[in-house]
Amino acid sequence: MTAQQRWQAAMMDNYGTPALELVRGEGATVFDADGTPYLDLVGGIAVNALGHAHPAVVKAVSEQVATLGHTSNLYINPVALSLAETLLDVAGLSGKVLFCNSGAEAVEGATKITRLTGKSKLVACDGGFHGRTMGALSVTGQPSKREPFEPLLPDVTHVPFGDAAALESAVDGDTAAVFIEPVLGEGGVVPAPDGFLQAAREITSNAGALLVLDEVQTGIGRLGSWFAFQQAGVTPDVITLAKGLGGGLPLGAVIGVGEAGELLKPGQHGTTFGGNPIACAAGLAVIRTIREHGLLDHVDTLGKDLAAGVAKLDHPLVSEVRGTGLLQGIGLTKPVAPAVATAAQRAGYLVNPVRPDTIRLAPPLIITERQVVDFLAALPAALDHGLQAGQES
């Protein structure tokens, strides 16, 4: 049996059946079962911040699993404690940290925190993606993902992303919180318009509501800063994290800033695996490596080079390039992103057709300038294939 046949026989069909089997990775390169290399511009969907098999992560995880693998939260685990202190340090905030295992769980935890304000009304944005668990799905602004599972949480209002006037109209004294992605990820790599996050901060503050920034995809260096809120110059009340935080291991976190960090009381929330020492050791290795290797500056510079390089191609299929740092979206003039991704894969490059008209790029933060140049040289042929597919359809 092929791997695809075994998948179909053993796995539920929620992902369909992937066409490619990956068996090994090194740096920003992955290899399939036949040994064919691919430059990984998906990064496990913005997860593999340091790429694959990074020595710092391998060392940290290996040493930790040989020392203390799991404790639960019935006991102090010094690795989780160190990571919490480190997160607050790089965030430059006074607050408290709650660890969990994924972005959706972080959003669930944040949602429970907002309920402890005594209010239940939530506001989120059209096109936003916050996860697929029932609470996270309630604030996700994508009807196709929501509708099969309704009814979801009540009292959730969605407004157009980036529309400050609509947000102000939706937020009132009964609003517990506003949930916003600084950059829509699954929504097509759409950065918040200038001034929107600042307006959201003012609107929520005036209404006595919490501002929850979902930095699951944008946090931990992805944009060339530790967090997107730092670029915007705002201080949220709650931040959700995951993806790149664990460098490939399942690790999420909620940061409650100031008074928001004091809302959860003993017995009101819990997680068996949250703060697992092995995952937290990986998280510490990720942050330490980003710091020691100057990767924030590297991401900022290379992201600008990547965006400029795509724009410079002046290809008729490319409508725009959106994003910041190493979270980039190539907007297409036709809904042929899957065809472009297929052609890129054949040429040895993995990209993500996140929407029919958008290619998402979220490579490891350690990707090299040479690798970016090679991708830009190969991209026109993949775009040509997509253009031809659009003409034939």
Residues that constitute the known binding site for pyridoxal 5'-phosphate = 103-104, 129, 214-217, 272
Q: Which residues are catalytic?
A: 129, 214, 243
For tokens 């190493």, the residue is 326
Half-sphere exposure of 77 (CA within 13 A, CB side): 24
Residues that constitute the known binding site = 103-104, 129, 132, 214-217, 271-272
The three-state (H, E, C) secondary structure of the chain, written as one string: CCHHHHHHHHCCHHHCCCCCCEEEEEECEEEECCCCEEEECCHHHHCCCCCECCHHHHHHHHHHHCCCCCCCCCCCCHHHHHHHHHHHHHHCCCEEEEEECCHHHHHHHHHHHHHCCCCCEEEEECCCCCCCCHHHHHHCCCHHHHHHHCCCCCCEEEECCCCHHHHHHHCCCCEEEEEECCEECCCCCEECCCCHHHHHHHHHHHHCCEEEEECCCCCCCCCCCCCHHHHHCCCCCEEEECHHHHECECCEEEEEEHHHHHCCCCCCCCCCCCCCHHHHHHHHHHHHHHHHCCHHHHHHHHHHHHHHHHHHCCCCCEEEEEEECCEEEEEECCCCHHHHHHHHHHCCEECEEEECCEEEECCCCCCCHHHHHHHHHHHHHHHHHHHHHHHHC
CA distance 321 to 189: 9
CA distance 376 to 39: 12
Residues that constitute the known binding site for N(2)-acetyl-L-ornithine = 132, 271
